[in-house]
Amino acid sequence: MNNLIGVIGALLLATAAQTQASAQMSVEEIVSKANQASLYAGESGKAEARMIIVDAAGRKQMRQFSLLRRNTGGGDQDYLVHFSRPADVRNTVFRVAKHIESDDDRWLYLPALDLVKRISAGDKRTSFVGSHFFYEDVSGRNLNEDNFSLLEETETHFLIEGKPKSPGSVEFVGYTASISKQTFLPETVEYVDGAGDTYRRVSVVETQVIDGFPTVVKSRVEDLKNGGYTLLQFRNVGYGLALDDGVFSERSLRRPPLELFKN
């Protein structure tokens, strides 16, 4: 009995300490931890992914691809995405050089035209290969582009509001993110347009702990204005790969390192 009382006491003290610690965190610290948990787990990572795209009439399309990612220091990152299915997007390659202090660089290789297309900064919030995800969603939005405030704190979540510093550069006037206190993963993000309507929702459907990191393995983006959604599922997720500069070079757009994408 004394042992049981001791365990309960320890749990209560731990809960109290966590509550006190969360209360002392600034909104910037909360957002930074959420960004780290979402995008920077491990020094590098890979995954196989499938997108199911459903339009407002219920018609479905599928996209299948593999992804490589590495952290390069100071918050900068490299991403390489290779599409394998269906036939009309097979061997399409998307590359991102993410920069914290400047605009990200994004390129798309279109094999049917043997063309490398640069994605301009103004196009980062447009559809990613016909899905409800945006190009910016792949590598994440730069925290320097928004101002943040803490709207609410519950026992399990922080509710954060983000507003763009340059409203004219994006289609939303603000968004709210519900961030789990346990994993610091943003579990729901809702975007509001100029009319005050919530028109887009990104939500986590399923998470798993992989190599010690809480990892989103299924997520969903919904178009609340026009209808339709995209479901994104990850499998064979891994961390801690040895990825050198050549993996993310311009050459990899036309000749991606397919052996690294394999499980």
Please write the tens of the pLDDT for every residue from 31-56: 999 999 999 999 999 999 999 999 99
Q: Please report, for the domain that includes residue 134, its CATH number.
A: 2.50.20.10
Q: Do the domain assignments include residue 143? A: yes
Judged by phi (left if over 0) then psi (alpha if -120 to 50, else beta), residue 119 lies in: beta
CA distance 95 to 89: 15
Residue 2 lies in a domain: no
**Is residue 163 situated within a structural domain?**
yes
The reply to whether 22 falls in a domain is no
pLDDT at 13 over 50: no
Looking at the domain assignment, is residue 6 inside a domain? no
Total tally of structural domains belonging to the chain: 1
Does 3 or 110 have the greater pLDDT score? 110
**Is 64 a domain residue?**
yes
Is residue 3 in a domain?
Answer: no
Residue 191 DSSP code? E
Question: Per-residue confidence at 263, pLDDT binned at 50, 70, 90?
Answer: low
At 199-239, the pLDDT tens digits run: 999 999 999 999 999 999 999 999 999 999 999 999 999 99
pLDDT of residue 122: 87
pLDDT at 159: 98
Task: Using the CB atoms, write b or e for 124-157: b if 16+ within 10 Å.
Answer: bbeebbebbbbbbbbbbbbeeebebebeebeeeb
Beta-carbon contacts of 138 under 8 Å, excluding residues fewer than 6 positions away, are 79, 81, 94, 96, 128
Domain of residue 151 covers: 27-261
Residue 227 lies in a domain: yes
The whole model's pTM is what? Answer: 0.88
Tokens at 43, concatenated: 């020094």
Q: How many CA atoms lie within 13 A of 134 on its CB side?
A: 18
- What is the tens place of the pLDDT at every residue in 117-155? 999 988 999 999 999 999 999 999 999 999 999 999 999
